[in-house]
Amino acid sequence: MYDMYWLILFVILLIIEIITLGLTTIWFAGGALAAFVASVFNASLGIQIILFFLVSFLLLFLTRPIAMRYLNQNRTKTNAESLIGKIAIVTKDISNIKGEGSVIVNGLEWSARSVYDEVTIAKDALVIIKEISGVKLIVEEKREENE
């Protein structure tokens, strides 16, 4: 009786997914398909609705993380993200307390802050870029491995 409605919902959700490619509605399309199959076998409307939500949320929570990991596998880092782990040279003493400091990496000057608030890093020191916060690089002084 409701099979046509579930089929229409399934098609609409698939069309939205094809247009957006955001992996958002595909999971609910799976739920609509399950409800459609239940409707074909004359399941009650309550069972169809429960199946729709159950299958949709199971697909969303169980398969979406796997799909996102697989699809983001070949994602290229932005220019800024590619700086993490690189070595930079301090051009102005880094002091979180004073709110100052800068480094040069790949020929570009960046504002920089230390990973540790109490640590001041002197000019000309080598640092490792640990993360990026806004437009500032968060750095840690590079230690000599031989010592």
Per-residue pLDDT of the chain (147 residues; tens, 9 = 90+): 788 999 999 999 999 988 887 777 888 999 999 999 999 999 999 999 999 999 999 998 888 778 777 766 655 555 667 788 999 999 999 999 999 999 999 888 999 999 998 989 999 999 999 999 888 999 999 887 634
The answer to whether residue 147 sits within a structural domain is no
pLDDT at 131: 92
Domain holding 135, by residue range, is 81-141
**Cα Rg for the chain, rounded, in angstroms?**
26
Domain count, the chain: 2
pLDDT at 138: 94
Question: Are 66 and 93 contained in the same domain?
Answer: no
Picking from 46, 35, 31, the residue whose alpha carbon sits closest to that of residue 5 is 35
pLDDT at 14: 92
Picking from 6, 5, 2, 1, the residue whose alpha carbon sits closest to that of residue 28 is 6
Question: Are 131 and 85 contained in the same domain?
Answer: yes
pLDDT at 64: 78
The answer to whether residue 76 sits within a structural domain is no
